[in-house]
Amino acid sequence: MERLEELKKRLKERSPELELREREPMSRYTTFRIGGPAVLMALPRNMEQVQTVVREAKALEVEPFFLGNGSNLLVADKGYSGFVVKLTGEFEEICFETAPKNGKPLLTAGGAVLLSKLSQTALHWELTGLEFAQGIPGSVGGAITMNAGAYGGEISQNLIWVCGLDRNGEEQNFRASECDFSYRKSIFSGGGFLIVEALFQLEPGDPSAIKARMDQLAVQRREKQPLEYPSAGSMFKRPPGYFAAALIDQCGLKGFSVGGAQVSEKHAGFVVNRGGATCADVLELVDQVKERVLAQTGVELEMEVKVLK
C-alpha cells in the first residue's frame, strides 16, 4: 500500500494531466459486472502518459495490471489491492491508409479500440476480413493477447504487426509471425507487454456482402448466446477432442445456479450473472461444474476467464 501511495504521488508530480482514480469499482469495467474496488487506477490518454505510468511503476517495483474491455475477467469481491492501467484517448482511435508497396488497405488501431468499432470501421471503408469480430466484446489489445476468435475467424489472421510497451516502458514492434499465436494464446498472454497499437491488412469487399455476413453472425449470436445477461463469454477452454458446453450439457448442468451465478440455459459454456452474482458465487459454481464433469466424463475443464484478486 505504501508503494501505491508513493506511485500516486510520483505520477501526479511527473504527469499532472494523467487521470488517476482511487478505490475505483472494478464492476464498472468488466462485462460480468462483478468485482470490488481497485486501490489505484491510471487512465493514460497518450504515449507519453503511458510510458510515465509504466516506468514509474517499474521504479517502485509495482506490477501493473493492464485492463482491456474486461470481457474475459472475473474480479474478486474484495477488489484488487494493486495497480490497474486502462488505455483511453488516442489509444481508442483508428486510422485508414494504404500500403505504399502494394496498395493494400490498412487499418491502424489503438490497443483500447473495441472490436465492434474496428469491424464497423472496416465495413465503412468497404473492407472484408473482420466480420467475425463484430460481436466479440473485447478490445484490440485484449483480443491480440488471447488471439480472440469466433465463427472461423481469429484476430491474428489479418494482423501485420503489433506495438507493445515492455515493463521498462520501451516500445517494441512484433511482426505477426513473431507473436506465437495459437488457440487463445500468444507471446503476450503472460502479461509482460501492454499492447498500444496494431496494424491490420484487409481486402476490399462488397459492402452489402460484408454487412450481410455481420448481420448473419449477429443473429446466430443472439440465438445461441445469453447476451441478455452479463457474462465473461466462454467460461472454459475447449478440452482437446471435446467441447466444454457439450460436456456440461451432457452432465445436466444447464441452469445450475449458485447465488446469482448460473450456467446459462441457452449455452452451457457460459456462466451468467442473473443479478447480484458475486465472484464467490461464480467460483463456487465453476468448481462444482468441474467436479461433476470430471466425475461423469473423465474430462478436466480449465477456466478460460482470468481471475483478478
Catalytic one among 6, 90, 284, 304? 304
Alpha-carbon distance of 73 to 63, in angstroms, equals: 18
To the query of whether residue 234 is one of the catalytic residues in this protein, the response is: yes
Is residue 158 within 8 A of residue 129, CB to CB? The reply is yes
Alpha-carbon distance of 309 to 6, in angstroms, equals: 22
Catalytic one among 10, 21, 45, 184? 184
Alpha-carbon distance of 293 to 236, in angstroms, equals: 12
Catalytic one among 27, 139, 231, 234? 234
To the query of whether residue 304 is one of the catalytic residues in this protein, the response is: yes
What beta strand segments (E) does the chain contain?
Answer: 19-25, 37-43, 64-67, 73-75, 80-86, 94-98, 105-110, 127-128, 149-150, 153-154, 159-165, 171-175, 194-201, 203-204, 231-234, 257-258, 261-263, 270-273, 306-308
Burial (0-12, 13-18, 19+ Cβ within 10 Å), 195: buried
Catalytic positions, please?
184, 234, 304
